[in-house]
Amino acid sequence: MIYTYFYDFLIGKIGIAATERAISHVYFDTTTNKPKDAEIRETKLIKRAEVQLREYFNRKRKTFSLPLIFEGTSFQTMAWKALQEIPYGEVRSYKEQAIAVGNVNACRAVGMANNRNPISIIVPCHRVVGNSGKLVGYGGGLSVKEYLLALERRA
């Protein structure tokens, strides 16, 4: 069973979904990667994720300590795990992320995996920018990506 619950943050409404054992989704209203057939219910694990997200937004948390479950292809899972290696307050290019997953030519594939990242913020795809340093694509919108990066730079 998948449960989901919604919380209001300064950047807008965020949904958090989880199984009994792990967080499966953190998403924005605009995100297409929402869990299907989830029961709307706040569980202890979802509440724990909400508390950690609030700490992150209040600059009191730089890393998350939550069990995560990834549902995707083996490449997507590898790309999402590589995102978790980007330190708080730093950015990487799509090329650097492609190198991190072992294929310098996989820039577009990394970008597509980031686009499908079901666990926004906690799995920090917002820390990946274009090779020129330009902000490109984000499920929550570029203004949210810019906000998250500025939040981390201020800490």
One domain, residues 93 and 143: yes
pTM passes above 0.85:
yes
85 in any annotated domain: yes
Residue 36 sits in the same domain as residue 81: no
Are both 105 and 147 inside the same structural domain?
yes
Consecutive H or E run containing 76: helix 74-83
3-9 vs 12-18, strand pairing mode: antiparallel
Distance of CA 33 to the CA centre of its chain: 11
**pLDDT tens digits along 73-114:** 999 999 999 999 999 999 999 999 999 999 999 999 999 999
Range of the domain at 132: 74-154
Whichever domain contains 128, its CATH number is: 1.10.10.10
Residues 85 and 145 in one domain: yes
The Cα 81–Cα 96 span in angstroms is 14
**Same domain, residue pair 106 and 148:** yes
pLDDT in tens, 27-81: 987 555 667 788 899 999 999 999 999 999 999 999 999 999 999 999 999 999 9
- For residue 4, list its beta bridge partners: 17, 40
Residues 47, 111 within the same domain: no
Annotated active-site residue 107? The verdict is no
Which of 26, 86, 122, 125 does the annotation list as catalytic? 125
Number of domains the chain is built from? 2
